[in-house]
């Protein structure tokens, strides 16, 4: 195997792990984020929290810890999703 093929295979594997982690975040009741948040935040998850993949609670904690470093779009949709979740919890 060539080095470039190995690198491409590794990147594809990491990509699949991030996608699976973000999908699991959206399906878990305690870490429910919208499809839009998944789309907007996948790059940030790779950039900031790749060492935490595939541990979903650790990825979520990492993203919250690095909130100031998130892209504007990711931060906006996460804030909106968290606010919606908080209002649903408060209404119960």
Report pLDDT digits (tens) over 12-52.
Answer: 565 555 555 555 544 444 455 678 888 889 999 999 999 99
Domain count along the chain: 1
What pLDDT was estimated at residue 90?
A: 64
Task: Provide the residue range defining the domain that includes 81.
Answer: 3-91
72 confidence band (pLDDT: 50, 70, 90): very high
Distances (CA, A) of 62 to 13, 19, 53: 20, 16, 10
What interhelical angle do 56-65 and 3-27 show, nearest 10? Answer: 90
**Alpha helix locations (H) across 1-92?**
3-27, 35-49, 56-65, 72-91
Global pTM value = 0.57
Distance in angstroms (rounded) separating the CA atoms of residues 62 and 51:
10
Length of the chain: 92
């Amino acid at each position: 195997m060539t080095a470039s093929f190995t690198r491409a295979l590794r990147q594809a594997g990491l990509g699949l792990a991030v996608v699976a982690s973000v999908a699991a975040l959206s399906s878990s009741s305690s870490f429910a984020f919208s499809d839009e948040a998944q789309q907007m935040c996948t790059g940030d998850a790779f950039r900031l929290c790749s060492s935490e993949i595939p541990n979903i609670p650790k990825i979520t904690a990492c993203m919250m810890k690095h909130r100031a470093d998130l892209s504007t779009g990711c931060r906006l949709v996460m804030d909106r999703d968290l606010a919606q979740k908080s209002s649903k919890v408060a209404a119960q």
